[in-house]
Amino acid sequence: MGMSGGAHSGSFGKRRHRRAAVMSEINVTPMVDVMLVLLIIFMVSAPLLTVGVPIDLPQTQAASLDQADKEPLAISVNTKGQVFLQNSEIKIDDLVPKLKAITEARGGNDERIYVRGDKSVDYGTVMKVMGRLSAAGFRKVALVTEVEQGS
């Protein structure tokens, strides 16, 4: 009548399942497939994003201009209405002759001139400077602004 405490007595009604060990390796094949598809999409779409206005540009034998070593010409107008050429103050009447001398020394009258004006300066003062530049024959005049921050 007695039950012996044999080796199998406690494990008779229980099932033991051995689970497979967890794989710690990453399956790289799907990731490579996705990356190749993205690469192809970007290669096809990149030229489409850089197309601007279609222009048929003329071709010439002229050498490209090397303006990397030239400091750009900058005219600044501060809040007091003072005019500066580069970093030195100059009278507005002396501005055009000085600019013509500089551009001729640099090799031509086709140099770009940057006009900087404080945002609180009188509009008429900046327009007076730009009018003199235009009347003197300078056609590449650009207004310099800062990129708006925020919103």
Q: What is the pLDDT of residue 55?
A: 46
Q: Average pLDDT, stretch 23-44?
A: 89
- Of 103, 54, 38, 55, whose CA–CA distance to 75 is shortest? 103
DSSP calls for 38-79: HHHHHHHHHHHHS--S--------PPPP--SSSPPEEEEE-T
What letters, b where the CB count within 10 A reaches 16 and e where it falls short, cover 8-38? eeeeeeeeeeeeeeeeeeeeeeeeeeeeeee
Domain ranges of the chain: 73-143
Please tell me the distance from the alpha carbon of residue 115 to that of residue 126, in angstroms, as a whole number.
8
Q: What is the pLDDT of residues 52-73, one digit of tens each?
A: 555 455 566 555 545 555 677 8
73-143: CATH number: 3.30.420.270
Model-level pTM? 0.50
Residue 16: strand, helix, or coil: coil
Q: What is the pLDDT of residues 114-136, one digit of tens each?
A: 888 877 778 888 888 888 888 88
